Chains A and B, each alone.
Chain A
Amino acid sequence: MPLKNKFIIYSAIIAFLGFLDATYLTLVHFRNTIPPCTIGNCETVLTSQYAVILGIPTALLGSLFYLSVILVCLLIMTNYKKIFHQAYYLLAATGLIVSAILLGIQAFVLHAFCQYCLLSAATSTGIAILAYLHYREQKNS
């Protein structure tokens, strides 16, 4: 594996963590159970109207997002094409924006946080930072 892909590898690993997190919430959602919450009233967040967007559970969208990131990272590692890099940057930026919006909803609309959602915000921010570092490296090389 060429070393130029190190940010891509890190992204894939972080995306896998995000995938575990989001998939857990998706499964919990479809099982109609209230997940164990240790901090900040996560029941409120996970049963709020924002837990489902246009009929699709937000957690499922998260799962698919992280899976896409993993997929794109693999494509970059195995098939070094420009379009995959562009898809990677686009995904990373989308993740960051959506996370910021969801974080805003938790802070200002619901006044409640959920640890699973905060973890997801952290992983998608991590991916965005790595994507930026990768972009800078690509530009300079």
Chain B
Amino acid sequence: MEKLTKAQKKALQKSEWQKEAEAAARKEQMKKFGLWGAVAVLVGIAIFGLALFVNKSPTSSIDTSQTVPMSSEYDIVLGNKNSKVSLIEYSDLQCPACASYHPLVKQILTEYPNVRYVYRNFPLTNIHPNAQIAAQAGYAANLQGKFWEMADALFTNQPDWEKSPSPQTIFVNYAQKLGLNAEKFTTDMNSQEAKKFVSESEKQAISAGINSTPSFFLNGARITASSYEDFKKLIDDAFEK
């Protein structure tokens, strides 16, 4: 091997350094690409997995082993009373979950005027201090044929009265807005009949094994549903049977 001159040695060294630097830069670049790629894949998998999970999670089901009576003297019945499909709801006017389900039920009543809808009071008075009197307000409004309108007002404005020390005043106000006879409404709401109606329906709910609100039953069988589409499917199936 020939002896390299000083200048040649220097040049060789320089080109080696350059190569090393380039390789290092390439390696760094690959690392960056890898990192971005890995995170992109991770985010993609996460979105896909969640979508799959949300879609697959069972939202509607029917349980024929748990049943309730189709009618009782403490029912508030709306819709077509002779329908072959009965949707029964055990509800508490002060329960937030019931208020969340209220728009779904409202939509069902609008889209399916042919369904017999039964509202049963199950006020959870231990945790909802105004549930009892709210149910009595519903009873009083029902006597004047406006139960659903009153339930709508109560559910929609739940935060306004749930903690109120004098919810009666607020309820009378709703009654007036709905065009009810306020005097009759007040008397009915505070009557012994109203108290009995609510406490009896509560007793029946307990003996039927209801332990939470809202609880829905289709033709007597327990159903779980968490969207309008879920209800729609179950109701359509019941009509087709």
Contact = CB atoms under 8 A, between A and B. Distances in A.
Nearest to A37: B97
Contact of B46 (A20, A46, A111): A20
B169 interface: no
A74 B34 CA distance: 11
B50 A24 contact: yes
A33 B159 contact: no
Q: How would you classify the secondary structure of chain B's contact residues: helix, strand, loop or mixed?
A: helix
Contact of A27 (B42, B51, B162): B51
A132 B32 CA distance: 25
A44 B102 CA distance: 12
A105 B172 CA distance: 29
Interface residues of B, number: 28
B167 interface: no
B17 interface: no
B59 A33 contact: yes
Given A24-B54, A74-B36, A32 B46 contact: no
Nearest to A35: B226
A78 B40 CA distance: 14
Interface string B94-120: 001101110100000000000000000
Interface core residue of A28, A43, A111 (most chain B CB under 10 Å): A43
Nearest to A40: B96
Q: How would you classify the secondary structure of chain A's contact residues: helix, strand, loop or mixed?
A: helix
A13 to B, nearest CB: 11
A16 B228 contact: no
Contacts of B208: none
Contact of A67 (B35, B43, B100, B226): B43
B143 interface: no
Contacts of A43: 96-97, 99-101
B47 to A, nearest CB: 6
B125 interface: no
Contact of A44 (B50, B51, B53, B99): B99
Contacts of A33: 54, 59, 226-227, 230
A24 B46 CA distance: 10
Given A41-B97, A44-B100, A111-B163, A32 B229 contact: yes
A16 B36 contact: no
Given A31-B54, A67-B43, 13 more contacts: A23-B46, A27-B51, A27-B54, A33-B59, A33-B226, A33-B227, A34-B227, A35-B226, A44-B96, A70-B39, A70-B43, A78-B35, A112-B96
Interface of B: 32, 35-36, 39, 42-43, 46-47, 50-51, 53-55, 59, 96-97, 99-101, 103, 159, 162-163, 226-230
Q: Which A-B residue pairs are the 9 nearest by beta carbons?
A: A43-B100, A44-B96, A41-B96, A33-B227, A78-B32, A27-B54, A33-B226, A47-B100, A34-B226
